Structure 1
Amino acid sequence: MFSDLKHLSHRAAWQRQLEMLLESAGDGIYGIDLRGRCIFINRAGADMLGYSPDEVVGRNMHYLIHHSHSDRTLMHVQDCRIFRAFREGRGIRVEDEVLWRRDGSCFDAQYASYPIRDHDRVVGAVVTFSDISARRRIEGELQRTHALLERRVQERTARLQTAHESLRRLSAHLSTLREEERAHIARNIHDDLGASFTALRLDLDWLSRRLAGQEALQAHVGRMLGVAQQAMESTRRIVNDLRPAVLDHLGLWAALETLLQDLQVRGELACRYLCAAEAERCRLGRAAEIEIYRIVQELLTNVQRHARARCVSLSVEIRERNLVVELEDDGIGMQLPEPAHTFGILGMRERARSINGVLELDSAPGAGTRARLTLQEISV
């Protein structure tokens, strides 16, 4: 259709072709002169505004369709960005304003305004616009949906955090109850069984003296004394595992030293213990000391059961006001991170967290294991 345009010279033919182009456009298109008056508008634009083209041509477009903001506050003509196209000689695109219809309603509009030039002189502007109300409505619904999802996520996260904190408090409470029960059982064993074993040994000693000259019976009583002695030592070890008396009487650092000494006496590991003088003066409170003792006890138990180590070292020191308890062995190590079902490690981490501490493990297969318990901002 347009192949013969260059051969057309008649003004009416050119005008007809341009009118056909304007009328075929789906977006609204209009032109204004330097006074803001409409010099042409296509059918799509006029229909969008609720007018016929003849009703629009010759009228000031700012006061007709662009006079107010969406909240109905007036927009001064000097603030009209459509007019900037010819006032400043540059194009502009806008998506955050409204245009007004004949019936007084407005719609969200996307428009672009570009200057019309006659050689180097700006003589007006051409404006293309479209109704983006549906798009804005969808965007608004998406934003509301997103906000709703964010709120639900926050609420669920808050509930999970509350549940997690409740579980932590429950875990700490159960740990306290467990320690109290251990202490109670240890006292009962010490008081009841200890007294019974002591009485039994005294009676066996008395019986052995009365059987002087009866070697067979004395030998039998001697074996009974040995069994009684073994039972007393086993009872003492069980009581110590349940609740070491040295922890209550001499404090944490002496209890840790005794724990390593007992381990070495049994011939299972070569043990080394280093406690800095500054750390020895540190007192953490009964609950924290019990938790640290249980963590070290559990770590040593893991070394005995799994590490195949020959030696282990325990050090306690103060680093930048932080208490650091570090246990290191020369065993076979393990792969980190540890599997989720390793409840022993999980329990130790929870114990550390209950006293505002952090338990870190550093290990690799064949390279031994280092466990570091850090308590921050300790009063020395």
Structure 2
Amino acid sequence: MPGPSAAAASPSAAAGIAEPWRDRLSLLLESTAEGIFGIDLDGRCMFANRAASALLGWPAEAMLGRNMHELIHHTRADGRHYPECDCPIFQAFRQGRPCRIDDEVLWRADGSSFCAEYASHPILGDGGEVLGAVVTFLDITARKRADAALREARDGLERRVAERTAELSRALDQLRELSGHLETVREEERTRIAREIHDELGSLLVALKMDTDWLAKRLEDRPLLVAKCHGMGSLIDTAVDNVGRIITDLRPSILDHQGLWAALEWQAQEFIETAELKGDVQLHVTHGVRPPEGERAIAVFRIFQEALSNIARHARATQVRIRVEVDAPPEPVLYIDVRDNGVGCEPQALAAADAWGVIGMRERAARFGGRVTLDSVPGQGTHLRLTMPLEDEAS
């Protein structure tokens, strides 16, 4: 095909650049690894460097004067025709709009294609008029393959992570179900033991008390024996009190007979009196919200017991503030707030793997959709907050 030579059609020659500079620019065009070619306002090739020829498989002379879109950009990657009017390369000079594209293909002389990244910029004359465009391009097939392999590896990793996460979630759910079952069994066993202690040991102690009173009445003329009977009676009274305390620890009857609200208030007052602390207890339950029953009530009560027990064992506190609040229906929520002025602890101690009491409280709460948060500062006490959703039992 007739047409100007690569040197004669170079942009430097067209611009009238001095010979030494034109030589340097030609050397630069020929030494770069990027393919470079220029097109006029009709899209015909005006020059092409050695890299462009090598990448496209066309000799430079065979490209000169040819419409470059029809030659190397005629078909999309999926085989569909690529209209020249949609070509971003040609838009650079037709609309004065430079572009950079990295998701298309260019076609070689042998009919094969390669993934390309190309940029097209308009060439302006001395008067600012558009003369054509210069196009630079690279074969990024290897990069695309590497990106695809990286995406595939990342997707595979994400799938494996998702699978492991699902397995861990299932294991955690099973562990919580097992923990809940063990708690249920433990509470049932506590109830059974408390009932047997009350029925068997309690009855025996009452019978012994009655017998010592009977003996004391019949030994009025024997002061030493009467004193002994009274001493035995005192010991029996102490045993009865201890049995009652043990029964209450095992299963407080107030929880079954009067409900959770009464049990929480009783436990708070009992703790303050026993620990000899200055206490501030407030309980506010919105009208219409009945206390939860069954395992949820037991979980809340045991969490509350554990919180107070931790204060007694570790806090060395002189004051404790307890707040129990319940939101209104239709979605009531129970909040228990316990704050002491004790020695506190480092926050990491509450998150330690062997902080079994804290772990137990959190697991009990999580089983019913609740949450236990603990904040503590050395020398400034500890603050525990339980948030537990309640079923609307008023409806």
Structure 2 SS opposite 1:123: strand
What TM-score does the superposition give when structure 2 sets the normalisation length? 0.84
Measured against aligned partners, the alpha-carbon deviations of 1:306-361 in whole angstroms (never above 9, x if no partner) come to 22233444332334643222333343333335241221122112222223222233
| 2:205 alignment partner, one of 182, 197, 203 | 197
Q: Are residues 1:77 and 2:84 paired?
A: yes
Bigger shift: 238-247 or 322-331?
Answer: 322-331
| 2:384 alignment partner, one of 346, 353, 371 | 371
Partner of 1:112: 119
Q: 1:104 to 1:222 in 2, by over 3 A?
A: same
Q: Are residues 1:139 and 2:147 paired?
A: yes
Bigger shift: 127-136 or 368-377?
Answer: 368-377
Q: Are residues 1:355 and 2:391 paired?
A: no
| 2:261 alignment partner, one of 245, 253, 257 | 253
Q: 1:36 to 1:287 in 2, by over 3 A?
A: same
Partner of 2:158: 150
Q: 1:11 to 1:251 in 2, by over 3 A?
A: closer
1:278-293 to structure 2, matched below 5 A, reads 278=286, 282-293=290-301
What TM-score does the superposition give when structure 1 sets the normalisation length? 0.87
CA deviation after TM superposition for structure 1 residue 12, in Å: 8.9
CA deviation after TM superposition for structure 1 residue 229, in Å: 1.8
Structure 2 SS opposite 1:201: helix
Give yes or no for contact 1:315–1:326 (8 Å, CA) kept in 2: yes
Bigger shift: 284-293 or 180-189?
Answer: 284-293
CA deviation after TM superposition for structure 1 residue 281, in Å: 5.3
Structure 2 CA distance, aligned partners of 1:81 and 1:277? 70
Q: 1:267 to 1:46 in 2, by over 3 A?
A: closer
1:107-256 to structure 2, matched below 5 A, reads 107-120=114-127, 121-256=129-264
Partner of 1:333: 344
Q: 1:124 to 1:343 in 2, by over 3 A?
A: same
Structure 1 SS opposite 2:342: coil
Q: 5+ residue gaps in structure 2?
A: 1-11
Q: 1:85 to 1:259 in 2, by over 3 A?
A: closer
CA deviation after TM superposition for structure 1 residue 158, in Å: 1.8
Q: 1:374 to 1:280 in 2, by over 3 A?
A: farther
Structure 2 CA distance, aligned partners of 1:116 and 1:271? 85
Bigger shift: 368-377 or 187-196?
Answer: 368-377
Q: 1:117 to 1:276 in 2, by over 3 A?
A: closer
Measured against aligned partners, the alpha-carbon deviations of 1:104-137 in whole angstroms (never above 9, x if no partner) come to 1100112222333443343332222221111111
Structure 1 CA distance, aligned partners of 2:316 and 2:17? 103
Opposite residue 339 of structure 2, the aligned amino acid is E
Give yes or no for contact 1:22–1:42 (8 Å, CA) kept in 2: yes
Opposite residue 57 of structure 1, the aligned amino acid is L
1:263-342 to structure 2, matched below 5 A, reads 263=271, 266=274, 268-276=276-284, 278=286, 282-319=290-327, 321-337=332-348, 338-340=350-352, 341-342=354-355
Bigger shift: 97-106 or 78-87?
Answer: 78-87
Give yes or no for contact 1:28–1:128 (8 Å, CA) kept in 2: yes
Structure 1 CA distance, aligned partners of 2:206 and 2:67? 114
Q: 1:124 to 1:263 in 2, by over 3 A?
A: closer
Partner of 1:346: 359
Give yes or no for contact 1:327–1:372 (8 Å, CA) kept in 2: yes
Structure 2 CA distance, aligned partners of 1:274 and 1:198? 37
CA deviation after TM superposition for structure 1 residue 183, in Å: 0.3
Structure 2 CA distance, aligned partners of 1:53 and 1:164? 68
Opposite residue 348 of structure 1, the aligned amino acid is M
% identical equivalent positions: 46
What do you get for the CA RMSD once the two structures are aligned? 2.9
Bigger shift: 317-326 or 190-199?
Answer: 317-326
Give yes or no for contact 2:292–2:390 (8 Å, CA) kept in 1: no
Q: 1:207 to 1:264 in 2, by over 3 A?
A: farther
Give yes or no for contact 1:279–1:323 (8 Å, CA) kept in 2: no
CA deviation after TM superposition for structure 1 residue 277, in Å: 5.7
Give yes or no for contact 1:323–1:378 (8 Å, CA) kept in 2: no
| 1:47 alignment partner, one of 51, 54, 76 | 54
Opposite residue 324 of structure 1, the aligned amino acid is Y
Q: 1:333 to 1:94 in 2, by over 3 A?
A: closer
Measured against aligned partners, the alpha-carbon deviations of 1:235-273 in whole angstroms (never above 9, x if no partner) come to 111011101112111212222333344445547345554
Structure 2 CA distance, aligned partners of 1:192 and 1:66? 97
Structure 2 CA distance, aligned partners of 1:240 and 1:17? 99
Measured against aligned partners, the alpha-carbon deviations of 1:196-253 in whole angstroms (never above 9, x if no partner) come to 2122222222222332222222222322222222212111110111011121112122
